[in-house]
Structures are given as C-alpha cells and as structure tokens.
Structure 1
Amino acid sequence: MKKLGWFLLVLVTVGFSACNDSVTREADQLFKDGKYREAIQAYDEYLATKPKDVKSLYNRGRAYEELGQLSNAKTDFEKVLDLDGDNLNANLSMGKYWYNQKDFTKAIYYFDKVIEVDGRVSTAYLLKGRSLHQQGEFPEARENYDQAINFDNKNAEAFLYRGALKIAMNQSRSACNDFTRAKALGAEEANDALKKYCN
C-alpha cells in the first residue's frame, strides 16, 4: 500500500510538472508570436506555482517592456536580480531602463555589471558608450564604442554612434568612414548622417 501511495505521489508530481512545463512553453511561444498580453497571463499562471523561475520572470518583464509597461518590467527585472545578481539579460534590461529614464549614472552601473560578468557583450559596451556620450564624457564613450566594435564588428549602431561622437570631436573624415560602415550594416539613420556631414 505504501508503494501505491508513493507511486501516486510521483505520478501527480510528474503530471503537475509536465503541466507547468506546458504553460511556460505556451508563454514562450506567445511571446515569440508578439502576443504579449497573452504571454503575461501565461507567465502569471506559471509563476503562481514557481515564483522564483528566473527565465519566466525575465520573459514576463520583457513582455511588459514590449507593451510599454515599464514599471512592471522593471519590477520583474529587479526580482530576477534579487534571485541572480549576475543575470546578464536582467542587468542589461535594467541599464536600458535607466538609460531611457535619462539616469545615465544608474544605466552605467548596470552596463558595468554585465561587462564584469561577461566582458564580451558588445551591446553593453555600446549602451555604456551612449550613456557616457550623453554625459559629455567623449574619450570614455569612444573607448566603449571601440570595444563594442571589437567584440562585434557588425554592430551597426556602434559604428553609427561612434561616427556621431567623432563629429562632435571634429573628426569628420573618420566619422564618415563609420557612417559608411553603419549604412553597409543596415543602419538607416546612417543615410541622413552621410548626407549631412559627408557630402
């Protein structure tokens, strides 16, 4: 009889786990399909039983972000960082959040955290460079744009913003080279920069 009870407990646990896996897979698919409201509902259902699931918390935060519900997104990213302070995605998202709030000092803190955990993330250098650029710290911004390009020489935005920085530093010829490269990599804004500064 004890064996039967144990077997039923295992069966219920496995069934419940499989059901949960199904919910999170559905939520992930809804997110991929751009159905962010439905994805949030599915993540809510999953997180009701697994409130510390980092991946689902982060993905729900991203869904909120896509809907422009930035306060909710920030709350989820902070929960992720409470559980895993080194989470690259959550640190990057928090940096973007503060960048968009124009709090560049806080943004840089999170981009630095990404770089500390994995120093090869081109996007972290790009966004740190943009934050420094906004603060008028041109040499440091340039170093970060350079690093972004070192780790991803197809980072169109890094070429574009480095070009803009070079214009501010009166380095027009080099800036035009960056704008040309950014255009070749698909940065549409590079067309305007080329027309304005390079003809």
Structure 2
Amino acid sequence: MQYSHDDENLSLTRFESMLKTNDILFFDSSEFENIIHHYLENGKIALSKRAIKLGLEQHPTSINLRLFQVEILVIENKFNEADEILDMLHDLEPTNEEIFIQKANVLSKQDEHKKAIDTLLIAIEMSSTPENDADLYALVGMEYLFLDQFDNAIIYFKKCLETDTTDYSALHNVIYCYDFLNKNEEAIEYLNTFLDKNPYCEVAWHQLGRQYFTIKEYGKANAAFDFAIISDDTFVGAYIEKGKVLEKLEKYEEAIENYKITLALEDPTSFALLRMGFCYDKLGQEDLAIQFLKKTIDEDPLLDRGWIAITKFYIKRFNYQKALYYINKAVTIDGDNVVYWKLYAKVNKRLNFLEEAERGYKRTLELGNYELETWLERADILTSLGEFDAACFNLIQASEFYPENAEIEYRLGGLYFTTHQIEEGRFHLKNAVNLNIDYSFIIAELFPNLNNKPMVKAIISESKRASN
C-alpha cells in the first residue's frame, strides 16, 4: 500500500476488513476511487470490481466510479458494454474530458486509431488544466505511433514536452521516431534546443550522446555523456555508453574505468563485464581478459555473447580444446543458437573431430542458417568421411538456394565421378568450368584421385584453352 495520506491507508484497511467480515461500511466516493485506483495499480482486477460494485451501490450517480467500471470492461475486452456506459455518461456530462479519454481508449483497443485521435483532440479542446494536456498530447502521439505516422507522432510528443519537460517517456518517443526515420541530424538539433532550456537533463544528454555515437561523432558523443554524468553522477547508462565511445577511440584503460564505476553503482551487469573483458584483451592483458569473460558467463549463463566471446578468445590463441569445452557448455544451455553450432562445427573441424563437425553444420542448417559456406563445409566433411551420397544430397539442397554456383557444381562433378556416375559427373563439371574456370583447383584439392582421369582433365583443359 503506497498512499501519501494516513486516511487513505485507513480507507483501504477498513475496506479489506469489511470484505472479511461481510459487514457493510460506508465510504464516500473519493475513498472508493482511491481504493479502486490502488487495486488497479497493483493488478488486482477482482478486488477492483468488488470495490466498483460496492461503490456504485452506495454512490449510484458517481461519474468517476462509472469511468473505473469502463476501465475494467476495456481490460476485459468488453467494448460494447464500455461504449454503452460512456454514451450514458456523455448524455449526463457532455463536457467531461475524462469520458472522451476513455472513449479514445476503447477505440484504440479496437485498432480505430484515427477515431481515437479525433476523440482525444476533443478532450484537449475541453481541457482546462495544462498538466492534463501533457498526458493527452502523449496519448495522441502514441496513437500516431500505432499508425506508423512518425512525423505526426513527433509533433504531439514535442507538444507534451513543451507542457511537461520532465516527461522522459515522451522525450524517448521523440528520439525513437527520429531514429526510425533515420533523421539523426534532426534529433541532434532538437535535443540541443531542448538542452538550451533544460541544461541539467541527464536523459537528454544521454540521448544526444547516443545520436552522436550513431553518426560516429565520437568526440561529441563523449562530451555529451560527460554532461549526463555531471547532471547525475549515478547514471549507470551514461557510464556504459561513455565506455563504448572510449573503446571506439581506442582509450581502453579509460573505458575500463567507466565500466568499473557501473559495477560499484549497482549489481554487476553482464554487458559491463563482457566489455571489460574485450578491453583487457585489446590491451594484451590476457589473464584479466579471460577472468572477466568468465565472470560474464557466471553472471548471465544465457548471454550468448559471453559464450561466443570466450570461445573465440581461445580459438584466436589456437587453444581448441578450451574452446571446445566452452562451446560444448553453450550448446547444452541453448541448443537452438545458430552461432553456437557454427562455432561448435568450426572448433571440432580444427580438432579433426569430423563427425562432430558435420553434426554442427547439419544442426546449423536445420536451424535455418543457409549460408553458402555452411553447405560447402558440410559437404567437404561428408566427402572426407566417405559419405558421398550424403554429400551429394547436401549439395543438391544447396543448389536450390544457390543455383548456377561454380563451387557447388565442381563438388557435385567430383562426387559423381568418384561414385562412377560418369554422365552426371560430366554434366556438373562442364557446368562448373563454364561458370568459373578459376575454381577448378577444387577438383585437385578435394578429389586428388580424379586428377589423372582423362575425361576430367579434358573438360578442365579444354575450358582453360577456350578462356585463354
């Protein structure tokens, strides 16, 4: 229970006591409103409905209690019933702006966003309090967002901020719209204007820094994040973003210092730990790098970037056994992560564990990663394992995604000649040399036994003569 006045706490206590004892106690309508608001804020819909029912029994003419009833009906998607009550209330109080706001809410929930906007604009015309106007402008902005009309949304979110400069949700939405429209310069111009009037708004400085970061103006981004930190020296997001900028400027020690501050301000975040690991790696401090990469996966075992980073750390140092240890753990945690399986296949291939490498590439394909390299790597491993039919089938599937591809055709040609399917071999090898003679080395590399086969030599040499 979070109420600012003791009597409101008392109302709630009395109401809950009444529910337990079945005694009927009297509450004035404002007490019922506070009780209902409390339950709605805490997601206790059933108790909200009880309070509304009892409230209307004691105050049947209360407009506000009826509006709470409408709110519940909207939550339950009972739009026709909500509309009926709103029409009745409009007849009683045609100038009550709250009725129009709820009507707009009903329309919005039914995807009637243009009608919702028109209704909110009526509410704005009726409004007599500027504080309410800010909320109404924000609601209109949201409706325009639903319609993907970003330019119109910007207009109304700006109107909201003109009325209430502390509505950071509206500020975020303005920048979101500019980002969606790829209007970084306009966003920067707006934020600078906003900051002229609100120089200690850490959220605006933070957003300005992010805009400069996007357009690679790292010096200006760094300055903006500094101002965000001056405005609020506990602003974790600003330290994180400043760290990212310093990495771009190759100032890794300073980046680490900023990430360290975030660890002191709140519980360690896997992102900060990961970035520190990368920074120490860039500085050549391998022991600290691996220490922080390990902390990253300890902190958040579901963060794929952590497992990928630690696996690549060991691959880079040719320590494939350690890389295999970590990527095995990763695929155990998340067996549907394509990047994990690609790394799994790569590491096993380097260790010459070909069956496991093939399994990795096969799983990658099953998960919808149809990159040409994946098909070719799997085919080459199957060929090495002597699984010629499976290799052929794999390449035929690949050719559906990459038709007329020389690398596929050379491999199919080689496989068909190897399995003594001469006509198919000749067909695909001729295709291959016509597509690109420069890839003819594939035959020598993958199928050395075919090097001296007269038909194979003739097809390749004839094509080379023709190209010269």
TM-score bucket (shorter structure): 0.7 to 0.9
In the alignment, is the contact (CA less than 8 A) between 1:74 and 1:94 conserved in 2? yes
Q: Deviations over 1:23-74 (max 9, x none)?
A: 323425766xxx4834652441464697465334553123222443322322
Whole-Å separation in 1 of the counterparts to 2:156 and 2:313: 53
In the alignment, is the contact (CA less than 8 A) between 1:61 and 1:72 conserved in 2? no
Superposed displacement of residue 129, structure 1: 1.7
How many pairs are equivalent?
186
Change over 3 Å in CA distance of 1:125–1:25 after alignment to 2 = same
Q: Which residue of 2 aligns with 1:120?
A: 234
In the alignment, is the contact (CA less than 8 A) between 1:58 and 1:76 conserved in 2? no
Q: 1:60 aligns with which of 167, 174, 177?
A: 174
In the alignment, is the contact (CA less than 8 A) between 1:36 and 1:67 conserved in 2? no
Q: 1:193 aligns with which of 302, 309, 329?
A: 309
Whole-Å separation in 1 of the counterparts to 2:134 and 2:238: 33
- Aligned residue for 2:275, secondary structure, equals helix
Superposed displacement of residue 12, structure 1: 5.4
Letter of the structure 2 residue corresponding to residue 103 of structure 1: E
Whole-Å separation in 2 of the counterparts to 1:107 and 1:51: 25
Superposed displacement of residue 187, structure 1: 3.6
Q: Map 1:46-125 to 2 at 5 A.
A: 47=158, 51=162, 53-54=164-165, 55=167, 56=170, 59-125=173-239
Q: 1:44 aligns with which of 138, 155, 172?
A: 155
Q: Deviations over 1:80-115 (max 9, x none)?
A: 212201111110011111122222211111111111
- Aligned residue for 1:37, secondary structure, equals coil
In the alignment, is the contact (CA less than 8 A) between 1:162 and 1:178 conserved in 2? yes
Whole-Å separation in 2 of the counterparts to 1:110 and 1:42: 26
Q: TM-score, normalised by structure 1?
A: 0.76
In the alignment, is the contact (CA less than 8 A) between 1:57 and 1:80 conserved in 2? no
Whole-Å separation in 1 of the counterparts to 2:147 and 2:187: 12
Higher relative contact order (CA 8 A, sep 6+): 1
Gaps of 5+ in 1: 1-10
Letter of the structure 2 residue corresponding to residue 136 of structure 1: E
Q: Map 1:164-175 to 2 at 5 A.
A: 164-175=278-289
Q: Which residue of 2 aligns with 1:7?
A: none
Superposed displacement of residue 15, structure 1: 7.4
Whole-Å separation in 2 of the counterparts to 1:49 and 1:172: 51
Whole-Å separation in 2 of the counterparts to 1:100 and 1:73: 11
Superposed displacement of residue 78, structure 1: 1.9
- Aligned residue for 2:128, secondary structure, equals helix
- Aligned residue for 2:247, secondary structure, equals helix
In terms of mean alpha carbon deviation, does 187-196 or 169-178 score higher? Answer: 169-178
Change over 3 Å in CA distance of 1:180–1:112 after alignment to 2 = same
Q: 1:129 aligns with which of 235, 243, 265?
A: 243
Gaps of 5+ in 2: 1-124, 315-321, 323-468
In terms of mean alpha carbon deviation, does 130-139 or 163-172 score higher? Answer: 130-139
In terms of mean alpha carbon deviation, does 92-101 or 46-55 score higher? Answer: 46-55
Change over 3 Å in CA distance of 1:89–1:136 after alignment to 2 = same
Whole-Å separation in 2 of the counterparts to 1:50 and 1:126: 26
Q: Which residue of 2 aligns with 1:8?
A: none
**Percent same amino acid among aligned pairs?**
19
Whole-Å separation in 2 of the counterparts to 1:23 and 1:52: 9
